[in-house]
């Protein structure tokens, strides 16, 4: 790890070196004349972090609302990710009276160095854990690990496991990841690309801890802001803690995460696939429990609830972002445009609700029903799933192609839930006791009686109608028996008696 400092910060290097531990990996403090006089840069990890320390000013830390009344240069604190303000020394009295934390430039450099060492140690511990886990797997499954090393190489496998550990993967996920690496030929892929592909395959494991009653609270980013993040962090691989865009992002994210933390919930942040690794590495030190997901990692069965847009709309113009975006190579711009289209499609789906839906959920509400409310098409799908095969074939033969396709999709979705929904559907099928609806039901059963096995049809209809109320069941059974006597002859008299008895 290397820390470069500008000319105005060189006098602090001797005092800063005395505070570093003598044993262990000490960061390299380097004089960088090519930087601005008051800048420093931390080179550790995939992203280089650039910050500012003003020797003739004081740094003030506090809440975002408390700092708005101060006149100074705002920035993001490297250690905590909170918004700070560099004020003149003559304003120290006002900051102290406002109960704000005031720090000298040397103390800021010391905190920055300590935070950088903590991040470096965390990455090193993750690599050590990856080596230990890979050694255990090589003893348990030597052939599997040997095949994975032959495909990717030992160093690349360790980098993939380290990235997954930093993202919060459990040991079972690491064993599964080695198995997938051994089975998938990704020889020319980078370690980051392999880790991203494994994360997308682990979408259920990533989304499941965040689901609350089948709902996933999410924060989504403005598309033009994501273009700016891509051009800044993915292309240039450098983070400037003095960017106003980054200050807005971290400030709004802290406010959203703070409110969710009070409720015991943490939202997920949705972003583009190409932006996810860089954005996750940027936000992980400040919000370790925040999960940054891309559209492919969201469980399709989850109901997305939009908790906020970061940053809020109408904050400032994005004309410079559009210039940077159109300055990208054509193929890269086309790929990023396709990802933006997929992201906006996910945000426009019916599963994504607005702030009003979130506010309604936060208010005290009655307990949800045991069974969800089904549409008419879903009720018909459950009813058809309970019918025998020959009856289902007869019903589908009388429907159109589009109706069959729609019913097929609903039957596929509700197939595993059909036993639990059967009684509810049969109880609500002829819910209105009007003659018109009862006549339609009798007519439907009459059409089913034209099938090759009318006795089976009558028996199945009697079993289905047994779950209805007594008044409705009596009316329908009387109409059925009258229909059978009139059109099907006397051979069904015994079956009609059985229908009356049941």
- Residues paired with 57 in a beta bridge: 88
Of the candidates 479, 485, 501, the residue with the CA atom closest to the CA atom of residue 493:
485
pLDDT at residue 41 above 90? Answer: yes
E strand or H helix at 444: helix 435-448
| Angle at 427 (CA atoms; ends 422, 433), nearest 5 degrees | 150
- Residues paired with 85 in a beta bridge: 60, 74
Look at residue 74 and give its three-state secondary structure.
strand
Question: What whole-number distance in Å separates Cα of residue 280 and Cα of residue 292?
Answer: 6
| Residue of 90 and 391 predicted with greater confidence | 90
Number of CB atoms found within 10 A of residue 114's CB: 13
Of the candidate CATH numbers 3.40.50.150, 3.40.30.60, 2.20.28.120, 3.40.50.300, the domain formed by 2-117 belongs to: 3.40.30.60
Question: What whole-number distance in Å separates Cα of residue 298 and Cα of residue 236?
Answer: 28
Architecture of the domain defined by 209-362: 3-Layer(aba) Sandwich (3.40)
pLDDT at residue 495 above 90? Answer: no
Question: What whole-number distance in Å separates Cα of residue 470 and Cα of residue 99?
Answer: 74
With contact defined as beta carbons under 8 Å apart, do 385 and 393 qualify? no
Provide the pLDDT for residue 12: 94
Pairing relation of β-strands 28-31 and 2-5?
parallel
Mean pLDDT of the chain: 75
Of the candidates 153, 318, 297, the residue with the CA atom closest to the CA atom of residue 211:
297
Question: What whole-number distance in Å separates Cα of residue 131 and Cα of residue 61?
Answer: 39
Model confidence over 387-446: pLDDT tens digits?
Answer: 666 667 767 777 778 878 887 877 777 765 666 666 666 665 544 343 334 445 545 555
Pairing relation of β-strands 215-221 and 268-270?
parallel
| Residue of 385 and 497 predicted with greater confidence | 385
Model confidence over 241-278: pLDDT tens digits?
Answer: 988 888 888 887 877 766 555 455 668 888 988 898 88
Model confidence over 204-253: pLDDT tens digits?
Answer: 666 667 777 777 788 888 888 888 888 888 887 888 998 888 888 888 78
- If you average pLDDT over residues 444-460, what whole number do you get? 52
Look at residue 205 and give its three-state secondary structure.
helix
Of the candidates 2, 36, 22, 14, the residue with the CA atom closest to the CA atom of residue 113:
2
pLDDT at residue 161 above 80? Answer: yes
- Sheet of 101-103: strand order equals 73-76, 83-88, 57-61, 101-103
With contact defined as beta carbons under 8 Å apart, do 116 and 78 qualify? yes
Using CA of residue 161, residue 167, residue 171, residue 174, what is the dihedral sign? negative
- Residues paired with 48 in a beta bridge: 43, 238
Q: What is the 3-state secondary structure (H, E, C) of 140-177?
A: HCHHHHHHHHHHHCHHHHHHHHHHHHHCCCCHHHHHHH
Number of CB atoms found within 10 A of residue 152's CB: 24
Pick the most confident of 184-198, 285-299, 308-322, 346-360: 285-299
- Nearest 10 degrees: CA dihedral of 163, 166, 170, 175? 20
Model confidence over 362-383: pLDDT tens digits?
Answer: 444 444 443 446 676 777 777 7
Would the pTM of this model clear 0.75, i.e. be above it?
A: no
Model confidence over 463-474: pLDDT tens digits?
Answer: 455 444 445 455
Q: How buried is 69 (Cβ within 10 angstroms: 0-12 exposed, 13-18 middle, 19+ buried)? A: exposed
| Residue of 109 and 144 predicted with greater confidence | 109
With contact defined as beta carbons under 8 Å apart, do 308 and 268 qualify? no
Provide the pLDDT for residue 357: 46
With contact defined as beta carbons under 8 Å apart, do 496 and 485 qualify? yes
Helices (H), 266-400: 276-283, 319-326, 330-348, 355-362, 376-385, 389-396
pLDDT at residue 459 above 70? Answer: no
pLDDT at residue 452 above 70? Answer: no
- Radius of gyration, CA atoms only, the chain: 32
With contact defined as beta carbons under 8 Å apart, do 52 and 75 qualify? yes
Count of residues for the chain?
Answer: 502
Provide the pLDDT for residue 461: 56
Question: What whole-number distance in Å separates Cα of residue 107 and Cα of residue 218?
Answer: 37
- 311: preceding bond cis by omega (within 30 degrees): yes
Provide the pLDDT for residue 221: 86
Is residue 81 left, alpha or beta, with left meaning phi > 0 and alpha meaning psi from -120 to 50?
left
Question: What whole-number distance in Å separates Cα of residue 264 and Cα of residue 210?
Answer: 11
Q: What residue segments make up the domains of the chain, in order of their start?
A: 2-117, 141-201, 209-362, 371-419, 430-502
Model confidence over 324-364: pLDDT tens digits?
Answer: 777 788 888 888 888 888 888 777 664 455 444 444 444 44
Tokens (6 digits) for 79: 């250690």
Question: What whole-number distance in Å separates Cα of residue 308 and Cα of residue 220?
Answer: 7
Question: What whole-number distance in Å separates Cα of residue 102 and Cα of residue 92?
Answer: 8
Q: How buried is 120 (Cβ within 10 angstroms: 0-12 exposed, 13-18 middle, 19+ buried)? A: middle
């Amino acid at each position: 790890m290397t820390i470069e400092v500008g000319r105005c910060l060189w006098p602090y290097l001797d005092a800063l070196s005395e505070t570093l531990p003598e044993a262990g990996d000490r960061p390299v403090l380097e004089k960088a004349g090519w930087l601005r006089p008051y800048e420093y840069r931390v080179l550790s990890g995939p992203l280089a972090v650039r910050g500012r320390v003003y020797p003739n000013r004081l740094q003030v830390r506090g809440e975002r609302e408390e700092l708005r009344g101060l006149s100074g240069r705002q920035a993001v604190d490297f250690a905590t990710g909170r918004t700070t303000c560099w004020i003149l020394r003559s304003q120290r009295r006002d900051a102290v009276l406002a109960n704000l934390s005031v720090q000298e430039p040397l103390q800021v450099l010391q905190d920055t160095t300590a935070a950088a060492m903590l991040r470096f140690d965390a990455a090193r511990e993750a690599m050590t854990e990856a080596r230990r886990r890979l050694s255990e797997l090589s003893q348990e499954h030597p052939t599997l690990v040997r095949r994975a090393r032959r495909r990717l190489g030992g160093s690349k496998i360790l980098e993939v496991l380290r990235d997954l550990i930093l993202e919060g993967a459990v040991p079972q996920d690491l064993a599964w990841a080695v198995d997938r690496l051994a089975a998938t030929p990704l020889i020319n892929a980078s370690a980051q690309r392999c880790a991203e592909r494994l994360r997308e395959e682990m979408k259920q494991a990533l989304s499941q801890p965040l689901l609350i009653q089948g709902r996933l609270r999410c924060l989504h980013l403005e598309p033009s802001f994501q273009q700016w993040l891509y051009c800044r962090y993915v292309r240039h691989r450098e983070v400037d803690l003095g960017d106003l865009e980054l200050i807005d992002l971290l400030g709004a994210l802290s406010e959203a995460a703070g409110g969710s933390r009070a409720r015991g919930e943490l939202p997920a942040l949705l972003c583009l696939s190409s932006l996810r690794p860089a954005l996750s590495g940027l936000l992980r030190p400040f919000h370790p429990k925040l999960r940054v997901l891309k559209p492919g990692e969201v469980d399709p069965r989850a109901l997305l609830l939009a908790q906020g847009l970061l940053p809020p709309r109408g904050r400032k113009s994005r004309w410079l972002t559009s210039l940077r975006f159109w300055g990208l190579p054509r193929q890269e711009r086309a790929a990023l445009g396709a990802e933006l289209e997929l992201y906006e499609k996910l945000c426009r789906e019916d599963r994504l609700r607005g702030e009003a839906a979130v506010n309604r959920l936060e208010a005290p509400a009655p307990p949800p029903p045991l069974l969800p409310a089904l549409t008419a098409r879903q009720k018909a799908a459950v009813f058809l799933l309970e019918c025998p095969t020959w009856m289902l074939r007869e019903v589908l033969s009388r429907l159109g192609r589009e109706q069959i396709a729609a019913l097929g999709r609903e039957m596929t979705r509700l197939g595993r839930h059909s036993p639990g929904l059967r009684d509810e559907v049969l109880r609500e099928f002829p819910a209105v006791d009007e003659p018109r609806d009862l006549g339609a039901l009798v007519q439907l059963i009459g059409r089913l009686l034209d099938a090759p096995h009318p006795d089976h049809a009558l028996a199945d209809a009697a079993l289905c109608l047994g779950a209805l109320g007594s008044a409705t069941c009596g009316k329908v059974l009387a109409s059925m028996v009258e229909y059978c006597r009139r059109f099907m002859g006397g051979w069904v008299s015994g079956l009609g008696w059985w229908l009356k008895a049941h």
